[in-house]
Structure 1
Amino acid sequence: MDDLVTERLVLHPLSAVEAERVAAGEPEDGDRWAPGYPAEGDMVGARRYVTTCAITGDPRPFGAYEIRLREDGRAVGGLGFHGAPDEDLRVSIGYGLIPSARGRGYASEALRGLLEFARESGIARVEGDADRENTASQRVMTAAGMRLFAEDEELKYYRIAWTDEGTG
């Protein structure tokens, strides 16, 4: 599968082998990781992807992606789908950046790229959530076009859905 490219980023679909390296935090020669990558969230996401591959097979293109800077190819975070679409063509997503890459709009740009890919792939709805205190993540989803649709004591839930008439 090809990389997804945005203005400043490359969203590289991880293979199971690459995800195992991220999960272990052990780069091989040729891996270009920025200092601090992978963060704990990246490792958790990579482990989830590796587990999904082992149980149900590789869900690519609805798997894990590494966020790389186009300018130098360094990995600064991850994002991806939490598995293949369900019968109603819905998927859920997650994302994260290392601290040194935050505050530059990379997360919103990466999420917009992934949402565009989902829409072009026939996905009907994408959902994500953020801790109530994580206003930065809430802003990322809003900036990418997702809208708050529910909340509970711990989380705020966002989604974007597409219809024949446009975004809903």
Structure 2
Amino acid sequence: MGDLMTERLALHPISVDEAEQMAAVRPDAEARWEPGFPTEGDVSVAKRFLEHCAATGDPQPFGPYVIRRRSDHRAIGGMGFHGPPDEHGSVTIGYGLVPSAQGKGYASEALRALLPFARDQGVTSVKGDADHDNTASQHVMTAAGMRQVGEDERVKYYAISWSR
């Protein structure tokens, strides 16, 4: 599977080798990581990806992606699916960027690419959530076309749906 391209970004599906480097926070000679990458969240995603691959195989296209700037090919964060679609065709997404890449519209741009890709793969809805105080993440989802569908004492829930 190839990269998903946007104007400024490439969403690169993580391979087992890349996940091993991320989990160990040890880049190979060719890795181009922005300072701060991988974040603690990226390391956790890489470890879960490796566990999933060992148990049931590579989940792509419904796995994690590294977000790279096209201008310098540096990894600035991650975005992806928490797993394949459920019995209703729904997936959950997550994302994060290193601090130096935040506030530049990268996460919204990446999510605007991932949503139609999911729809093209037969997904009927994409869900996400953000803590009440994480207004930046809430903005990312609304900027990409998701809408708030609920909340509890800790988080706000977002979704976008399509008919088959």
Provide the aligned C-alpha RMSD in A. 1.0
- What SS does the aligned partner of 2:153 have? coil
Unmatched 5+ residue regions in structure 2? Answer: none
Task: Name 1:105's counterpart in structure 2.
Answer: 105
Q: Which amino acid aligns with 2:79?
A: L
Task: Name 1:120's counterpart in structure 2.
Answer: 120
- What aligned pairs does 1:87-166 form with structure 2 within 5 A after superposition? 87-163=87-163
Q: Which amino acid aligns with 1:119?
A: R
- Higher alpha-carbon deviation: 18-27 or 67-76: 18-27
The reply on whether 1:4 has 2:8 as its aligned counterpart is no
Task: Please tell me whether the aligned partners of residues 78 and 95 of structure 1 are also in contact (alpha carbons under 8 angstroms).
Answer: yes
Task: Name 1:40's counterpart in structure 2.
Answer: 40
1:82-107 CA-partner distances (Å, limit 9, x unpaired): 01111211110100000000010000
Deviation at 1:53, TM superposition (A): 1.5
Matches of 1:56 and 1:90, distance apart in 2: 20
Matches of 1:33 and 1:139, distance apart in 2: 26
1:14-41 CA-partner distances (Å, limit 9, x unpaired): 0122112112211001111011111111
- What SS does the aligned partner of 2:18 have? helix
Task: Please tell me whether the aligned partners of residues 49 and 82 of structure 1 are also in contact (alpha carbons under 8 angstroms).
Answer: no
Task: Name 1:21's counterpart in structure 2.
Answer: 21
Unmatched 5+ residue regions in structure 1? Answer: none
Matches of 2:139 and 2:50, distance apart in 1: 29
Please report the TM-score for the alignment, with normalisation by the length of structure 2: 0.97
Matches of 1:55 and 1:128, distance apart in 2: 25
Task: Please tell me whether the aligned partners of residues 37 and 76 of structure 1 are also in contact (alpha carbons under 8 angstroms).
Answer: yes
- What SS does the aligned partner of 1:108 have? helix
Deviation at 1:47, TM superposition (A): 1.5
- How many residues matched? 164
Deviation at 1:55, TM superposition (A): 2.1
Percent of residue pairs bearing the same amino acid type: 62
Task: Please tell me whether the aligned partners of residues 52 and 83 of structure 1 are also in contact (alpha carbons under 8 angstroms).
Answer: no
Please report the TM-score for the alignment, with normalisation by the length of structure 1: 0.94
- What SS does the aligned partner of 1:46 have? helix
Task: Name 1:85's counterpart in structure 2.
Answer: 85
Matches of 2:86 and 2:131, distance apart in 1: 24
- What SS does the aligned partner of 1:163 have? coil
Q: Which amino acid aligns with 2:153?
A: E
